[in-house]
Structure 1
Amino acid sequence: MKIQAMKCPNCGAPLKPAKYRCEYCRSYVIVSNEKFLDLSDYEYEKESKENKEEYPGIYVFGRLLGKGEIPIVLGFANYYTGKTTTGGKMLLTNKSISFSAHAFNVGRTEAKIELSDIKKVYLGKNFWVSQQIIIDSYDSSHKFVVYHGKDWVEKINNQMHEIQKDNKDNNIRDNYIIELKKLKNLLDEGIITQEEFDIKKRIILNI
């Protein structure tokens, strides 16, 4: 990974070459000129804040990512909007895909697609050294030309699968909470005994 920024976007402290973390405020600072950079194996240390484990600030090309958001893949991309093609950088995080045009582009184009809004992502045309990927969301379709198109599609699908898994787990947990609250009300009203409550609770929690 090559770091081009010489100052931390958070505290302004100088960044040493080849470092990806500010030694002063401990923010992560990622700026790369790689055509395709896979960050999925990076381990970001969490810090304790108000008795909660949270990631410190993570900056990618000077932009602070949202709370709990971590970068997965970034690289060069061309974004097709109608008959217009705009060159820039594309970033995949564990929550979204975003595109930012190069600063020298006239009529700068930016796009952000939440992973939860994506229906399908697949390969389009295959060029000499790059590939087109098509991202269909529920309200529109987005076309990008990137390097390592197959890897982009794989990484996006992996993150979509993780979100679906998390949503399923959250739904199961919410159902447990609802059922346990109903059961507790029956106990408080004297409709069932403590023994019956304990038995049904174990059945609900599968323990």
Structure 2
Amino acid sequence: MRAIFLVMLLGATLLGGCAVSPGLDPRSNYADFGDDAIIVMGVSPQVELQIFKGDVTPEQWVRDAWAASLITTPRGGYIVARVDAVEGARRYGIAGLVARFGRQPYIFLPCDGDPVVTFEAARGKVVYVGDVRMRDPRGGMVVTTPDDLERARAHLAAYYPLIAARLEPGRHGYMNLKLKGKYAMMCRADALK
């Protein structure tokens, strides 16, 4: 049963790759985002990130079950995306990625208890999450979040000039992942090393 469920999950993840959000369209009225937030995240290498909402407890981040809030790939080394605002006891977390080497996709889902990058996206703000860099995912995934706010601001100035001056550092860090119920068995053990 577990194998069938994992195959279904991996299939849904791959199919989700067909409907990947390209992020914020620079030709749209992107500066008018109301009560939502815009997140800015440097990402290398080019991978598809799966970002989920979840709740923060004193010791862990409890990922919402099943559906990712955002599945996207970077353009020009950055993800710039409009998302629902979450802050306080709610945070986003990077809880999956798909990397491609040739035509072979590598899917990585962190296991229950693994550390994941979590971040807030404050209402009405343009938030710099940090730069997320990953080692070759075939040997596991290592995420670092060095901050280069000025480089991110330069990217926004080039592609999204109406919001570049509004960019501010966000709150991000690592928290241990807690998966709910039956979803706790869905992971790749080598997701984070």
State TM-score, norm by structure 1. Answer: 0.28
Larger Rg: 1
The structure in which a higher percent of residues are helix is 1
- More contact order relative to length (CA 8 Å, sep ≥ 6): 2
State TM-score, norm by structure 2. Answer: 0.29
